[in-house]
Amino acid sequence: MVPISIAYNGELRCVATHDKSGVQFITDAPTDNQGKGESFSPTDLVATALGACMITTMGIAAQKDGVQLAGTAIAIEKHMTATPPRKIAKLVAKLQMASGIPKEYRVKTESIGRNCPVVKSLHPDVELDIQFHYPG
């Protein structure tokens, strides 16, 4: 169990606290949904969780296998539905992989990224477009 506390501050803004560490962050409703758009929206956090989960789970395996993934980066695009009900329609994950990852390791690391816990937790209606790009 991971306890997380969320306080509503009004004006469509929340403060979330990771109770164990005390780390906090603010969420704000997006400008296209009555908010100020001054911080991550709740659906932005879903997209962020996808990217962080992919890289983290790939990193756990790579660390165990002695493969260096440092320098890998991911860009996430979140696409919302155009018509109600409002929800995430598509997430595009573009991974720029670090140099030096052995070719024979790529299938394993890509499979791990495509099967991370957040991927497994997303509703099947959310379209995923996951792209891996390697230097050279």
Residue 20, pLDDT above cutoff 90 = yes
* Residue 111 C-beta-side C-alpha neighbours within 13 Å: 6
CATH code, domain with 104: 3.30.300.20
Report pLDDT for 116: 98
Residue 39: pLDDT over 90 = yes
Q: How many CA atoms lie within 13 A of 135 on its CB side?
A: 10
pLDDT of 96 reads 98
pLDDT per residue over 78-105, tens digit each?
999 999 999 999 999 999 999 999 999 9
For tokens 């997303």, name the residue.
Answer: 122
Q: Which of 10, 78, 73 is nearest to 42 (CA)?
A: 78
Residues 23 and 62 in one domain: no
| Number of folded domains that form the chain | 2
**pLDDT band at residue 136, thresholds of 50, 70 and 90?**
confident
Are residue 29 and residue 46 in the same domain, yes or no?
Answer: no
Q: Are residues 61 and 15 in the same domain?
A: no
Query: Domain limits at 119?
Result: 42-133
Is 126 in the same domain as 77?
A: yes
The pTM score is: 0.94
